Amino acid sequence: MKASILAVAALLCAGAVLAQTPPAPAAASHMDNLATLLDLTDAQKTQVQTILQAEHAKMKEAFEQAKASGTKPDWQQMKTLHQQIEQETLQKLTPVLSATQLKKFQIIQQSMHGHGHFQRGGSPAASAPPAQS
């Protein structure tokens, strides 16, 4: 089960971080996996899907704006933006999910960050900002 949680966790942020829209079958499978892990009702599944799609759209918009302006946000700026959007998502999920479901969702999010998902190159050292001399 821990491996399943990690796999779903990796899928959760992949779209948001890469700012790409996943193909419909992959997105449906991803949502089905999340619904199973969180034991979502059909109504909750629809609401959670809407909230996560909004999160994804916000990340994509921020990425596109940075790209269009010709500036490249640094690692810290992207990390801060990602954390802000995650907090907004948690606030939106709070009235939708039970306390247990919300805690599971947070654990999935935390496991993604601890296992190289939001890290360049896939290793913790690769994700750290460059050392300043």
Q: Where are the domains of the chain?
A: 2-118
pLDDT band at 11 (very low <50, low <70, confident <90, very high): very low
Which of 121, 130, 118, 97 is CA-nearest to residue 13? 118
Q: Is the pLDDT of residue 111 over 90?
A: no
Could you give the count of Cα atoms lying within 13 Å of 33 in the half-sphere of its Cβ?
Answer: 18
CB 25 within 8 A of CB 125: no
pLDDT band at 115 (very low <50, low <70, confident <90, very high): low
Q: Is the pLDDT of residue 4 over 80?
A: no
What 3 state SS string does 35-60 have? HHHHCCCHHHHHHHHHHHHHHHHHHH
Q: Tokens 């994700």 identify what position?
A: 127
Model pTM greater than 0.75?
Answer: no
Give per-residue pLDDT as tens, 35-81.
999 999 999 999 999 999 999 999 888 888 877 888 777 788 888 88
pLDDT band at 84 (very low <50, low <70, confident <90, very high): very high
